[in-house]
Structure 1
Amino acid sequence: MTTLLIAFGLLFVLMCLRVPVAISIGLAAMLAVAAELGWKVFPVSAQVMVDGVNSFVLIAAPFFMLAGEIMNRGGLTRRIFRLANALVGRLPGGLGQVNVMASMLFAGMTGSAISDAVGLGAMEIEAMRERGYDRKLSAAITAASSVIGPMIPPSVPMVIYGALAGVSIGSLFLAGLVPGILMGVALMITVAIYAKLGYCPVEEKVGRTEILGALWAALPSLALPVIVVGGIYSGFFTPTEAAVVATAYAGVLAMLYREISPREYAGILIRVGSATGALFLIVAATALLGWIVTRSGVMIEVALWLGANVSSQFELLLMVVALCLVVGLFMEPIAALVLLVPILLPAVKILQIDLVHFGIVVILSLMIGLLTPPVGLILFVVAKIAEISIQQMIKAIMPFLLTLIVVLLILTAFPAVVLVLPRLAYGLPVW
């Protein structure tokens, strides 16, 4: 136990010093292994880390990332924004509503909050600035709507969680649809309230011709999540094969749109390769830390303590939500997911919590952690895009952050809301 406390203390210190997450976790884990096994630390660490990433399911993650990057660079962003503007631009809040709707549509292409914030953020904030929107409000809406990305399939965090917990990725993809839509609706209501208070200009009404034209232009791109989820549930291909199909489909669309030159593909592959390397290094390092935690018996003690002292599923889930929001202050979602899930799973199984519901709650909690002041990663990304201070960003995001937390609590308290689509797909009772 002392060794683990030292390891986690070192991890916290290294992360406070802004040492990369994977290196921080790896050094802390190797220190713990060395304290127990001495010079065997190197062969043992190498074996455990290789085993940690030796998963067929994990291969889906880089392919989904590649598909999203190709579609982001291939003209999809502009088409999605045009469609969102045609559908909801006339609602109270105008481009604020477009911002949220575009994130919901774009989510099915990338499955990444950061990709959404970067891919759509600059375009959305600039468009809102030109229409007279307050820069701080524009940044807050952009940041809040970006966390919808990992909830609507395909989703890289869901792939990671499915591999860790042994849960059907297809079920996770279906389970994320309703929460993603609820998040979008809640944010749109919040934007409408701002509009009623006079913070948003009134937009011009879009004609039917523009709506049909925008829909026709975006329709091929919108088919991607349908192909992925439909293919998995029809049994036509596995989640990993679905990721490859999604990448191939994105490549065909990019060729048709002719907005990516052959030279740009090299840059795309380099960026995705770099991101994949960082992702797998985090998974490998966290696998080593998880191995030493399991070896210490702490996971069993935590599970037994929670099983004896937590009286209900909802109580445990509230504890998990609070833990994830705090962890989200200083750790990237993927690293936090890989670290926390193996520790919490035994207690979750003791209390017979549905693993799909648990996964959605954990992922959403960690995504909201990206918005949590003072060090939420998306706050810094969007503040830089909008050219405002982090203090202004934090003040502007608070109403939207509270809205998302309310949605999170509703999804935590009512599992049926999350599980309705997976249960319908398997022919099970909804309630």
Structure 2
Amino acid sequence: MIDSEILIACSMLLGSFIFFLVLGLPVAIAIMVSSIFTLIFSMSVGDILYSGSQKMFTGINNFGLLAAPFFILSGNLMNKGGIARRLVNLAMLLGGRIPGSLAHANVISNMLFGSVCGSSVAAASAVGGFMGPLQKEKNYDPYFSAAVNIASAPTGLLIPPTGLFIVFSLMTGTSVATLFVAGYVPGILMGLGVMFYAWIYAKKHNYPVEDKVPLKQALRIVFDAIPSLLMIVVVIGGIIVGIFTATEGGVISVFYGLILSLCYGTIKPKDLPAIMIESAIISGMILFLIAASSFMSWAMTWLSIPDTVSELLLSVSENPIIILLIMNLLLVIVGTFMDISPALLIFTPIFFPITQSIGMDPIHFGVMLVFNLCIGNITPPVGSALFVGCSIANVPMEKVIKPLLPIFAIEFILLLVVTYIPEISLFLPHLFGMS
């Protein structure tokens, strides 16, 4: 029997959190204030502040978290270092002979650049800003073009290196290297899903195929892109083989991105202070959000909320298929109203014990969770990739929703495929002997 007091506490925590978000409080502050408001009925203010501050410090007192700021700095260096244009040229070469070639090039560019910079917003901005005018020249529908750019931007959050897997690893004790390897196939699958829709749309509207690129020019495009792609090979390969940790890989990616950008001449030494300050601000925001989420996780544990949610779900059904479907539906709804980072931090400690009780592989759960929340990254009202993509394309959001809906349906179907076929996520880890 579920304790009614726990249900009330759960409702208070969720209700107050949504209320403070509606008031316009920053997410981290809303998390902390709602946690204090809920706990105040079961312990003294002094105990809340004393224990809560300890939990916040403990939440970020982890060597592994150093990887996140380094990868953020690396992503900023690559974003401002002229990397996007070279990867877009490679993507146009790869997708140029398919109907609607510029749309396919957009998707491939987001997959390549997103994996390098680790940010859906940066990918939507950099790639969309470059591809948008080209597609406009070829008379592509601007709303379709924006929808393709927006829907494919989050693929880089699955294709490593990605900070989301680093945070999930620290919260659950899973291997970062294994998560990185597991994200490749689902990330590519998400990109192929968008390309499938783009191909159908292009065939229906008779979109052109780009001219064949001469061999000499094609070789030059590939040669220009190789240094950028090598960063992924060096960093991910080194982590997988065990030459260095994820944190050390972050340092190497910063060094590699800096040298590459300076060699290209797109970043000058005078630009570095601004890039480092921007990276420090973003890192500080993320670390503060992690600290605040550690506070809320402690509050939820104190109030037995994870156990209660687990009991509620298991009372509905003990069938893993039904439980995972309910979890996915809840996460899709959550992703619609909450940004991906706080959603990951808040719901991982709630759902992780449930997946363990039904025998789900933790790596598989991590990939499913990130895949699900990536879909929320493209949905209103808080989809950051959606806002940036519409802004870059200079189109109203309401006009982009219509072409986004079929892509959303395809990605949700792919989410269910990833959820119910574990080998999609676990094939590569098993292949490399990483269980």
**Among 231, 234, 258, which residue is 1:251 paired with?**
258
Matches within 5 A, 1:217-296: 217-296=224-303
Per-residue deviation at 1:418?
Answer: 1.1
Alpha-carbon separation, structure 2, partners of 1:370 and 1:336? 11
AA at the equivalent of 2:20: L
**Among 88, 96, 103, which residue is 1:96 paired with?**
103
CA contact (8 A) 1:67 1:250 kept: yes
The SS at the match of 2:336 is coil
Counterpart of 1:381 in structure 2 is 388
- Name the stretch that deviates more: 11-20 or 351-360: 11-20
Counterpart of 2:35 in structure 1 is 29
The answer to whether 1:194 aligns with 2:194 is no
Superimposed CA distance per residue, residues 86-135 of structure 1 (whole angstroms, 9 cap, x where no aligned partner): 12122111100100111111122012212211222211212211222111
CA contact (8 A) 2:161 2:180 kept: yes
**Among 141, 153, 166, which residue is 1:146 paired with?**
153
Unaligned runs of 5+ in 2: 1-5
Matches within 5 A, 1:312-351: 312-351=319-358
Per-residue deviation at 1:422?
Answer: 0.2
Alpha-carbon separation, structure 2, partners of 1:209 and 1:37? 73
Give identity over the alignment, percent: 35
CA contact (8 A) 2:262 2:268 kept: no
CA contact (8 A) 1:317 1:358 kept: no
The answer to whether 1:19 aligns with 2:33 is no
- Name the stretch that deviates more: 374-383 or 138-147: 374-383
Superimposed CA distance per residue, residues 292-316 of structure 1 (whole angstroms, 9 cap, x where no aligned partner): 1101122223334434543333322
The SS at the match of 2:337 is coil
**Among 117, 123, 138, which residue is 1:116 paired with?**
123
AA at the equivalent of 2:386: L
Q: 1:65 to 1:427 in 2, by over 3 A?
A: closer
The SS at the match of 1:328 is helix
Unaligned runs of 5+ in 1: none
Alpha-carbon separation, structure 2, partners of 1:408 and 1:12? 26
Counterpart of 1:422 in structure 2 is 429
Counterpart of 1:211 in structure 2 is 218
CA contact (8 A) 1:314 1:413 kept: yes
Counterpart of 1:50 in structure 2 is 57
Alpha-carbon separation, structure 1, partners of 2:122 and 2:173? 26
The SS at the match of 2:74 is helix
Alpha-carbon separation, structure 1, partners of 2:246 and 2:433? 17
Alpha-carbon separation, structure 2, partners of 1:236 and 1:6? 47
Per-residue deviation at 1:427?
Answer: 7.1
Superimposed CA distance per residue, residues 161-212 of structure 1 (whole angstroms, 9 cap, x where no aligned partner): 1111111011111111111111222221211111111252332221222221
Q: Give the total of aligned pairs.
A: 428
Per-residue deviation at 1:18?
Answer: 2.9
Per-residue deviation at 1:413?
Answer: 1.4
CA contact (8 A) 1:108 1:224 kept: no
- Name the stretch that deviates more: 130-139 or 3-12: 3-12
Superimposed CA distance per residue, residues 247-276 of structure 1 (whole angstroms, 9 cap, x where no aligned partner): 111111112111112222112112111111
Alpha-carbon separation, structure 2, partners of 1:250 and 1:312? 47
CA contact (8 A) 1:15 1:330 kept: no
Q: Please, what TM-score do these two structures have when normalized by structure 1? A: 0.95
AA at the equivalent of 2:158: M
Alpha-carbon separation, structure 1, partners of 2:327 and 2:64? 25
Counterpart of 1:6 in structure 2 is 12
Alpha-carbon separation, structure 2, partners of 1:242 and 1:315? 39
AA at the equivalent of 2:13: A
Alpha-carbon separation, structure 2, partners of 1:427 and 1:379? 35
CA contact (8 A) 1:314 1:412 kept: no
AA at the equivalent of 2:401: I
Per-residue deviation at 1:66?
Answer: 0.9
Q: Please, what TM-score do these two structures have when normalized by structure 2? A: 0.95
Counterpart of 1:168 in structure 2 is 175
Per-residue deviation at 1:373?
Answer: 3.5
AA at the equivalent of 2:163: V
The SS at the match of 1:237 is coil
CA RMSD of aligned residues (A): 1.6
Alpha-carbon separation, structure 1, partners of 2:135 and 2:24? 33
The SS at the match of 2:271 is helix
CA contact (8 A) 1:140 1:396 kept: yes
Counterpart of 1:358 in structure 2 is 365
Superimposed CA distance per residue, residues 18-69 of structure 1 (whole angstroms, 9 cap, x where no aligned partner): 3211111111112233332223332222211111111111111111111111
Moved beyond 6 Å, runs of 4+: none
Q: 1:78 to 1:260 in 2, by over 3 A?
A: same
Alpha-carbon separation, structure 2, partners of 1:427 and 1:399? 36
The answer to whether 1:41 aligns with 2:41 is no
AA at the equivalent of 1:203: E
CA contact (8 A) 1:333 1:366 kept: yes
Superimposed CA distance per residue, residues 402-428 of structure 1 (whole angstroms, 9 cap, x where no aligned partner): 121121111111111111000111177
Alpha-carbon separation, structure 1, partners of 2:155 and 2:364? 17
- Name the stretch that deviates more: 126-135 or 59-68: 126-135
CA contact (8 A) 2:10 2:305 kept: no
CA contact (8 A) 1:133 1:201 kept: no
Counterpart of 1:178 in structure 2 is 185
AA at the equivalent of 1:16: V
AA at the equivalent of 2:433: Y
CA contact (8 A) 1:224 1:246 kept: yes
- Name the stretch that deviates more: 187-196 or 1-10: 1-10
